[in-house]
């Protein structure tokens, strides 16, 4: 048992001086049907996504009572929505792509879905968020890109909320930002996932 109050004991168990929340990267392309309407460079979201999350994990519980005593059994897994924050430049490329993507799922005026996005393959995409080390080397088994120490892959993703952009004559020396919230079917992580399958490849 480690001795309390010993700074050296703490430091020896603190691997790599801790993971840093600013060393990350989001990789995501919009569906092909959206690219034809609002073209978006593959690197645009990677460079403009300034905030994201490594996803959490939730498994429900099933209660069962025996002689008044509650017992708990594992239930179904649920996946919370995932939100990223985007820096907005004057091209509005990402903003336009997200608006077109959501409009293809349910149009603003017509309340209908675009013919090119009637199936899930037409309106969903895959994405990944990578956590990098401070020295650009790998420490976990299963990660292949230099410097990645943790990677989460999202499947069947589509936007469900696009935040407004506040405008104000008195707001100086700032750059516009907005958030996009995505629903998705599930995520996997190479370092902990036990399901075999092909390597992840963003669409």
Residue with tokens 């700074």: 7
Backbone φ, ψ for residue 163 (5° rounding):
-75, 155
Does the residue 66 lie in any domain?
no
What are the residues facing 28 on neighbouring strands? 127
Reported confidence tier of residue 13, pLDDT bands at 50, 70, 90? confident
Count of structural domains, the chain: 1
Reported confidence tier of residue 202, pLDDT bands at 50, 70, 90? very low
How far is residue 183's CA from residue 1's CA, in Å, rounded to a whole number?
43
Reported confidence tier of residue 7, pLDDT bands at 50, 70, 90? confident
Element holding 28 (H helix, E strand): strand 24-28
Domain range holding 178?
A: 14-55+71-189
Does the residue 118 lie in any domain?
yes
Q: The tokens of 128 are what?
A: 């990944």
Does the residue 101 lie in any domain?
yes
Does the residue 25 lie in any domain?
yes
Q: Would residue 153 be called left, alpha or beta, if left means φ above 0 and alpha means ψ between -120 and 50 degrees?
A: beta
- The mean pLDDT value for 10-32 works out to 88
Which one of 38-42, 76-80, 120-124 scores highest in mean pLDDT?
Answer: 76-80
- The mean pLDDT value for 162-167 works out to 98
Contact assessment for residue 129 and residue 24, using Cβ atoms and an 8 Å cutoff: yes
Backbone φ, ψ for residue 174 (5° rounding):
-135, 160
Taking only the tens place, the pLDDT of each residue in 106-130 is 999 988 988 888 888 899 999 999 9
**Summary mean pLDDT of the chain:** 88
Does the residue 156 lie in any domain?
yes
**CATH classification at residue 176:** 2.30.110
Reported confidence tier of residue 178, pLDDT bands at 50, 70, 90? very high
Does the residue 199 lie in any domain?
no
């Amino acid at each position: 048992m480690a001795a309390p109050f010993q700074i050296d004991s703490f430091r020896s168990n603190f691997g790599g001086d801790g993971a840093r929340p600013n060393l990350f990267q989001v990789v995501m392309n919009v569906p092909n049907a959206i690219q034809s309407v609002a073209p978006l460079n593959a690197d645009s979201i990677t460079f403009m996504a300034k905030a994201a999350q490594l996803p959490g994990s939730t498994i429900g519980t099933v209660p069962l009572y025996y002689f008044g005593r509650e017992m708990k059994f594992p239930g179904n897994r649920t996946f919370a929505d995932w939100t990223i924050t985007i820096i907005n430049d004057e091209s509005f490329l990402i903003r336009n792509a997200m608006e077109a993507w959501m409009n293809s799922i349910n149009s603003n005026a017509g309340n209908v879905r675009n013919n090119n996005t009637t199936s899930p393959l037409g309106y969903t995409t895959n994405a990944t968020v990578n956590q990098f080390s401070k020295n650009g080397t790998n420490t976990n088994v299963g990660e292949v890109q230099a410097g990645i120490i943790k990677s989460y892959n999202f499947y069947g993703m589509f936007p469900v909320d696009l935040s407004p952009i506040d405008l104000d004559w008195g707001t100086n020396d700032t750059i516009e930002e907005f958030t996009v919230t995505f629903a998705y079917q599930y995520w996997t992580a190479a370092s902990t996932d036990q399901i075999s399958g092909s390597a992840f490849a963003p669409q």
